[in-house]
Structure 1
Amino acid sequence: MKNKEILDQEGQTFASASRIKYFDMVIDSGKGAMLKDVEGHEYIDLLASASSTNTGHSHPKVVEAITKQAQKLIQYTPAYFANVPAARLTKRLADLSPIEGPAEVAWGNSGSDANDAVIKFARGYTGRQNVVSFTGAYHGSTYGSMSASAVSLNMSRKMGPLMEGFYKVPYPSPWYRKSYETQDQFIDRMFEEFKLPFETYLPADEVALILVEPIQGDGGIAKAPEKYLQKVYEFAHEHGILFAVDEVNQGMGRTGKWWSIQNFPGIHPDLMSVGKSLASGLPLSAVVGRKEIIESLDAPANVYTTAGNPVTTAAALATFDVIEDEHLLQRSHDLGQEAKEFFDKMKEKYDFIGDVRMYGLDGGIDIVDPRTHQPAVQVATKLIYRMFELGVIMITVRGNVLRFQPPLVITEEQLHRAFDVIEHAMQDEADGNIAFDKNIGWSTD
């Protein structure tokens, strides 16, 4: 069948709310950093299934682990009995976590329910109700995680009221910095805005949790200033508030370190959510936290029938092996440097490129109107569509930010082929040769 035939057939019974519209393609297979659609067209993948296949598509070691475990036991609920891969994985994940002191793990099926679990354990341990998160955050689509999110109005429109006890403070994204501000002035101003709720209507001693993406993903691939996050971290601990980090998008080697919070020296979270690439894209997530916090709740407070099942945890163990054996943290760092140099070069060449942010193989490239420096959503849309036509998969977040997150196993040759395509698309835009004018991508309004 053709892409269009399958999409037309699926569209009769598939919910519009369940897919963000980008390209009319149906993926048939993938290997490493390459994808193939049902018509046989090949693409270099610069999205890695929303950073959930950091080890690439169908990595042989992950496939072997899944196959061997499936031949032994596919599922028996960990809600009642242990299984060998999950038991091994709890220790491995706890030992690798940035948690200070003894850590424990609880399983989930997705990043969304891992963040729900973060909220549960924080409330259980502190005896407090309120949760503080940040504008631009994407924590998931279950009611708890969605109540903590603030990246798109379509995540709250027609679905309220959301859960009570959730408050948002501004995330210090670089585009909020005033032209006249030094970095220190920007940090001081944003921290004053962070404190304002606590000084006016939100008693700090009634707040259980501050939940943050140290590097926001869908909010624009933007890293919080280190001094700012240190101030928030110290504020939390001064007031008995737990400090939690969402590593669902940015963890598992994405930034050149195991966890994005490790880009912030001296910060050790109390709780951490993990998902996406934990099992190379299979449905497995986890909340990792200080032992006394995780032990504050008793079963069945965080029990799921399929979470931590034998196949997904076997895949996760293989994923950790691949990242370590193939030195993917270093690879992300090194190839990320090459990507930064490339996009900086493009910024010098094309006036519609604004800020370039790269943290390992993890980048956000702002597309702007060269006259006003405001977001140029339609230009960004045209660029990614032209890349798609030329055989590269890249999407946008926030409308105008190119999201650069290839599998960490991408070869240098594939990476440089992708660079050639990106430059080709940018030159086509500069020459006025891209006619695409449809609205695709995330809706933020």
Structure 2
Amino acid sequence: MRYKSMKRKLALEYVLMMPFVIAGKLYGKIFKLKTQHKVFLFFPNGDIGGSPKVNIDITNCLKTYSPIIFFSKKPNNNLFKERFKQTGVPIIDLHRKIDNKLYHFVNFFYRGVIASWINAVENPVVLGGEVIFFYKIIPHLKKSAWCVEVCHLATWLEYSIGFIDKIDVRVFSTERLKKDVELQYKKNKLNSSYFKKLTFIENAIEIPAYKTIENNRLQVVFIGRGSPQKRVYLIAAIAEQLHLQQAPVLFSFVGDVERVIDVDKYPYCKFYGNVKDDALLRLIYEESDVLILTSAFEGLPVVIMEMMAYGKVIISTNVNGIPDYIFHEQNGFLISSKDEEEIVQEGVNYINRLVENPDLKRVLGARSREIAKQRFDYRNFCREYMEVLRFC
């Protein structure tokens, strides 16, 4: 949807919802937030994943500025909720009240309530993104509220363009995504002032100590959610072909992949399910040789950053922000095919190359680790977020 048509749609919605929002604002003034906060963070939920991990990192950077977290989406597993709690930042989970289409007027009401609480603060800071409730809140905030959006995926761009008048800074976790938005703005002939609000901040990870691993069989792992975009069935097909070839390769899957494939059909693969134990997850990272992803689209998955830091080879489809970090035949392999059968064949071919040439595996992995050490520093991450949030 184009900028102007999206603005018209939102203007109509704004008029229709106003009675409920006004009621919510009155309620919020009477029943005030019991704790005092400067920063208001809007995240979907405590589900496991790369984007939630970044949200936890941002929260940790902001702990000294009295933040509060609002969850608004029904969780699928909530496996990261405990990590959010460990930050010590209070959480208000609204999903039972507002994530229900049958009672959508309640969502309108809570927009007013939360807006009232934020507007009661002098110069509040509001951060969110890739969660609809954040976008729905910001039109009701006072002008002095400083609104920052965090963007990981291009899937939101057609929707979020309608709110850019209300957003002071748009942060992108990949340079490729920032360029996509610049192109979108050019197509919509937007004023240059909107371009100045766009910035890129590299995500961050801990760099572990390096450990040499010598496996009898090449250990290939998928780590991620069992969502349609991940196309886990393609990785299962790659595993099946290599099994039929009797190649010395073991495939492992970490995540709720049983949602999208029948795990009983692959007895020669290892399935961990969702891993809550950090020590076990670190062990899986350490003992693997290759991370494989066949996603239809991605931002930059945090698991790619983490496996790079462990010095592992990445095999991935050449989508979105991934080729900004994985350089074909330098620190991994990029699958360029679009046809799914060809994707499977490329994956098989690249894994066979690593089986046949163990030295290539070591060279590619070492280069990945060097790139990770150069780019994924926590100190830079926190400093840059402090700057866009105007805390330094």
User: Same fold, TM exceeding 0.5?
Assistant: no
* TM-score, normalization by structure 1: 0.30
Structure with greater helix percent: 2
* TM-score, normalization by structure 2: 0.33
Which of the pair has the greater relative contact order for Cα pairs under 8 Å at 6+ separation?
A: 1
